[in-house]
Amino acid sequence: MKITAWLAATAFVMLGLPYLAVTFVKADAGMAASVLLFFVIDPLYAVFSGTDAGGDIKKRWFMPGTAAGLYLAGAWLSFQPGERAFLLYAAAYLIIGTAAMLITAALRGRIKINKGQFT
């Protein structure tokens, strides 16, 4: 995927979806929408982002961190600014994305692991 298209998709998922959930979902379904975002959509997107980055790790190493950073911005802008719990979610998405990136790169042979050292 091209970097520009990926960045637009990431901005929509991490910034746009929380805004849309807060703006258009009624209060009764708001908790369900938040749970769906935090525990299904955002982690899956972190895996997608990391998998895409693992295809060309030298050029796309920044993708998991960008996705986590945009998640944090979207959560703070849409829900509650400065809430520390969102830092934990962002850290978890960063770890998930980075793990997916490294696993994908290792499976594709881009990273060789010799005696515990990456080359």
Q: Break the chain into its structural domains and give their ranges.
A: 3-118
- Residue 71's contacts (CB-CB under 8 Å, 6 or more residues apart) are 14, 42, 86, 89, 90, 93
pLDDT digits (tens, 9 = 90+) for 8-52: 999 999 999 999 988 898 888 888 998 999 999 999 999 999 999
pLDDT digits (tens, 9 = 90+) for 70-106: 999 999 998 889 999 999 999 999 999 999 999 999 8
pTM: 0.86
Long-range Cβ pairs for the range 31-39 (8 Å, 24+):
34/79, 38/89
